[in-house]
Structure 1
């Protein structure tokens, strides 16, 4: 006798069944990071240095210092009136996770690389879900892969916070698309504790919540999500303001790195120099990446995408291109703008697998060479 409908046991999805569709994206993410590290090893060997010198260097040193010692630096001012370099510029979530792994006796650098790896896998999963919900699993897979091999992807296998930022942003946008407003708000709080550019997500979630409120959707939930969203970013900026005794404390401390918002004038000068100079250099390559990013942003505007995606992408690109120093890091600053991969993913999804098997590894090698060249040969922060 067949059991009635009421007698049937409804199987709840397990973590394995939920993750399984994203496993190809996660696997390719890990593969391309290993490939990129192999390229870094080769160029480091050619330069006569160890690749281990770079994975925890540059900004990674600051994150590791905060993880081990907290924000223990005094705020100092030089004779020129500018502040000295200070760890307060680096947001606390990534160092906190590194310190958390330290509680189980994992040394700081391996802990930082573990955080980067796991966060990167979570980001690839989130990007797959976003792309799948937008245009199918093939587009989701390509979004995750294209992001993982982007020109700034060297940061994904270093002690940096980009992978953590993108993981939180991707899943926050998934929550917005599913109208899970409290979850979106909580994820945005953590994003605001990861990097200052998390402000782009605060704006995206906030505007999406306002639209839902105006349309009288979902009752009190968008109110809660919208109100929660800025708390992480405002909380840390407030903490730095108290430490420095200035309401603009965090932005003032950026002056220690000669960093400020300049409406893109520095980037424009560098792009013009890179594209008109008689001698090619890393500046030329970086200038080409910037031009491509701007073109992709325009292409994204012409693509039918959810409003929160467009807001987040536009603000992230503006933040990345309108800072006044470290031109070589523009590709890394643009890495969180994963929405730029959507037009390319939609285009490449039409190609057969045999073509993608050539195009994607080739792109990964070019990107890996660029990041490794900056570190091992030019000795610059990627």
Structure 2
């Protein structure tokens, strides 16, 4: 199957070369997207059943575990009471809710205002709807570049990641991925204002949402250089909008803390989270290899190593520039950040472009050896459902 080169103009904004006849012979776009979304929903429902069964066996409430666990409690607190909650453990360990970006709690607050739902239930509704929107956006990106079969495989693989249980929880990753996927699709289809606006929203969702703005800015810069500055005002508008959400929240926290440029990063430092070019992560891995630890941490090492390999494959596949920048920035933030080592796979959940080489390989396998593809998908599903249930119910480790 042919595809665009990263260096060709089509690789940034154009369709998959030679796809026209094949696409016309396939079902409508809406039907194909609906099929991909149906597979995703089915996969996550099965994962939820496994979580529920293990939860009931352990005498726990699955909805409470999915809706009110770890960071979910901070977001729900912001949604209910606004910012201002701080926990003091030691002088150098202070957990402030200012570390959490505002879009998700604002959406939860909207649901609680407009519906009878409250707390964790509202958070789950936001996350589940966002995950569905994200799945549609991921399909749109994959189908745009490599055809509808790859788009469907990409969505299925995303729904079967080892940490995909987070997509069923009251967490922010589905919201970020939804805005990111559609922002990247907007770049690929030259909808620059939409790309910038969606990147702005992604920047309000999570700290690593800046990766979306970086992708939009990189693609815009490429177009400016390629066209020698002769671009439309829409491109400039989209590029200007892209980083506004992330920058606005960082500066707002800085102003509130009395240090405009450094206040937000000081909040993160007191949480034990900072960017040190991977030094903290390497030290943690060193200790883990020497002494061993719980199952979650070795699994984290495997997942992060796999992400690095997948990024190398994405580069070797000459994927479009905005997808490479987006996935690369997310990977850089994950590898270079210290603290909460066990959460790194969750930080990589929005990095769906890393799965493109696997999705293409799965489609080729399905066409040549359907049974082999079925075995692969079944194995991924088993790992995803069992490990996800283990993380939520058994492992006493922050997600």
TM-score clears 0.5: yes
Deviation string, structure 1 residues 321-368 (Cα, Å, up to 9, x no partner): 222122221111111111110110111111224433332232122123
- Going from structure 1 to structure 2, the CA distance change for 1:157 and 1:279 (only over 3 Å counts) comes to closer
8 Å contact kept, 2:183–2:198: yes
1:339 to 353, 356, 377: 353
Cα deviation for residue 76 of structure 1 reads 7.6
Match of 1:4 in 2: none
- Which residues in structure 2 correspond to 1:15-34 (within 5 Å)? 19-34=30-45
Q: Residue by residue, what CA displacement relative to the aligned partner does 1:96-143 show, whole Å, maximum 9, x if unpaired?
A: 111111122221221111111111111111111111111111110111
Pick aligned residue for 2:130 from 119, 127, 141: 119
Residue correspondence of structure 1 range 96-245 to structure 2 within 5 A: 96-104=106-114, 105-214=116-225, 215=227, 216=229, 218-245=231-258
Is the 1:83–1:253 Cα contact (8 Å) retained in structure 2? Answer: no
Task: Identify the match of residue 86 of structure 1 among 90, 96, 107.
Answer: 96
Q: Choose which of 344, 357, 362 in structure 1 pairs with 2:374.
A: 357
2:254 maps to 1:254: no
CA contact 2:162–2:388 (8 Å) conserved in 1: yes
Gap runs ≥5 in structure 1 = 1-16
Residues in 1 aligned to 2:299 and 2:352: alpha-carbon distance in whole angstroms: 20
Taking the aligned partners of 1:32 and 1:167, their CA distance within structure 2 comes to: 18
Closer/same/farther in 2, CA of residues 356 and 79 from structure 1, 3 Å limit = closer
When the two chains are superposed, the root-mean-square deviation of aligned CA atoms in Å is 2.1
Other structure's SS at 2:94 match: coil
1:98, 1:111 within 8 Å by CA — same for their partners in 2? yes
Alpha-carbon distance in structure 1 between the residues aligned to 2:289 and 2:315: 25
Distance 1:129 1:355 in 2: 26
CA offset at residue 158 of structure 1?
0.6
Match of 2:305 in 1: 291
49, 64, 71: which one pairs with 1:53? 64
Q: Deviations over 1:152-177 (max 9, x none)?
A: 21210110010110110000001001
- 8 Å Cα contact 2:202-2:245 kept in structure 1: yes
1:167 and 1:217, CA in 2 relative to 1: closer, same or farther beyond 3 A? farther
Query: 1:5-42 deviations in whole A, cap 9, x for unaligned?
Result: xxxxxxxxxxxx75322011111111111111222223
Choose 351-360 or 115-124, whichever is displaced more: 351-360
Moved over 4 A (4+): 75-79, 272-280
Taking the aligned partners of 2:190 and 2:292, their CA distance within structure 1 comes to: 53
- The aligned counterpart of 2:80 is 68
Secondary structure of the 1:102 match is: helix
Looking at structure 2, the residues matched to 202 and 340 of structure 1 have their Cα atoms a distance apart, in angstroms, of 18
Which range moved further: 182-191 or 46-55? 46-55
Distance in 2 (alpha carbons) for counterparts of 1:279 and 1:108: 34
Greater alpha carbon shift after TM alignment, 141-150 vs 359-368: 359-368
Q: CA offsets per residue over residues 256-290 of structure 1, 9 Å max, x none? A: 32111121123223444555656773222221112
User: For the residues of structure 2 that align with 1:45 and 1:277, how far apart are their CA atoms?
Assistant: 34
- 1:268 aligned residue (269, 282, 286): 282
What are structure 2's unaligned runs of at least 5 residues? 1-27
Of 275-284 and 152-161, more deviation after overlay is shown by 275-284
Once residues 122 and 294 of structure 2 are traced to their aligned partners in structure 1, the CA distance between those partners, rounded to angstroms, is: 38
**Is the 1:120–1:163 contact (alpha carbons within 8 Å) kept by the matching residues of 2?**
yes
Deviation of residue 186 (structure 1)? 0.5
TM-score, scaled to structure 1: 0.90
The answer to whether the 8 A contact 2:88-2:95 is kept is no
